């Protein structure tokens, strides 16, 4: 009888844990971050961007869009917009939702190449999404101060050309780099003057067992050559489960440190 009770208890605990992991995987959370820099262009005021990475198989919730709409100047998709088995209709629907927030910029992730990437590229173009494949886009204030958003192609397939993206960026601009992989920072040197890197890919470890996972949870790291921002991501890979690394998106506001 005791063994039966223990078995039932274990089954209940297992079911509760599984339900919790499902909830963590399908959360619709927008984390707000305020990052200040002493050299941020003062005439740009506050610049806010919505960062979403690793969407994979998820359909972006209207809850997310409504929380961010009117608050972000533009959107950055940090790769893995899709993966093998996801319909292009779902991809199009997700892009249309993100465009309700503002102009959308995209960098390639490894899973994006699992599909017909030529067709995906055409869909992005048709939706008016700017693909940052080793290129940069410049935002300029009325006083001529500039912010450049750079993006590199898939690092895993050696498609990245940071040198080309830097060449495309305006000299003397405040530079933000979007790359699916956090380890792009290994190719950055102080002379590049890239102040912030936006990345995903790791899913924050996705599932932590007794606090352990192959990857650490997402977060912000101050490195010698830049500041690295890693997202847990919005979707999942393999199993739609998370533990210790809930799904997340980000509203990031950049401004000048007025104390400087």
Rounded Cα distance between 199 and 193, Å, is: 17
List of domains in the chain: 2-256 (3.60.21.10)
What is the pLDDT at residue 65? 98
Q: What is the pLDDT of residue 5?
A: 67
Sign of torsion, CA 212 215 221 223? Answer: positive
Can you give the pLDDT at residue 148?
98
pLDDT of 258 reads 67
Per-residue pLDDT at 14: 60
Identify the pLDDT of residue 79: 97
pLDDT along the chain (260 residues), means of 10: 68 72 94 96 96 98 97 98 97 98 98 97 98 97 95 96 96 96 96 97 93 90 96 94 96 84
CA distances from 170 to 98, 135, 140, 149, 153 (A): 27, 11, 10, 10, 19
Residue 9: per-residue pLDDT: 60
Angle at 64 between CA 103 and CA 254, to 5 degrees: 55
**What would the two tokens of residue 223 be?**
């490195």
End-to-end CA distance of the chain: 70
* Closest C-alpha among 258, 251, 235 to residue 26: 235
The answer to whether the beta carbons of residues 240 and 57 sit under 8 Å apart is: yes
User: What's the confidence (pLDDT) of residue 209?
Assistant: 86
């Amino acid at each position: 009888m005791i063994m039966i009770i223990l078995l039932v208890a274990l089954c209940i605990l297992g079911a509760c844990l599984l339900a919790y992991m499902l909830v963590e995987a399908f959360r619709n959370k927008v984390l707000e971050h305020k990052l200040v820099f002493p050299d941020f262009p003062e005439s740009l005021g506050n610049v806010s961007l919505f960062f979403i990475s690793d969407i994979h198989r998820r359909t972006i919730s209207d809850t997310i869009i409504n929380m961010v709409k009117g608050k972000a100047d533009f959107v950055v998709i940090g790769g893995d917009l899709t993966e093998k088995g996801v319909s292009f209709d779902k991809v199009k629907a997700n892009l249309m939702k993100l465009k309700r927030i503002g102009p959308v910029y995209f960098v390639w992730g490894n899973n994006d190449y699992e599909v017909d990437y030529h067709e995906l590229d055409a869909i992005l173009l048709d939706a008016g999404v700017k693909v940052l494949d080793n290129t940069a886009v410049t935002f300029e204030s009325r006083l001529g101060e500039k912010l450049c958003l750079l993006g590199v192609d898939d690092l895993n397939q050696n498609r990245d050309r940071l040198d080309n993206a830097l060449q495309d960026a305006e000299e003397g601009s405040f530079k933000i780099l979007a790359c699916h992989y956090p380890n792009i920072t290994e190719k950055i040197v102080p002379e590049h003057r890239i102040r912030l890197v936006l990345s995903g890919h790791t899913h924050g470890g996705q599932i932590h067992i007794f606090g352990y996972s192959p990857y650490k949870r997402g977060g912000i790291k101050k490195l010698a050559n830049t500041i690295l921002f890693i997202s847990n991501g919005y979707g999942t890979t393999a199993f739609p489960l998370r533990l210790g690394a809930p799904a997340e998106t980000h509203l990031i506001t950049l401004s000048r440190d007025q104390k400087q």
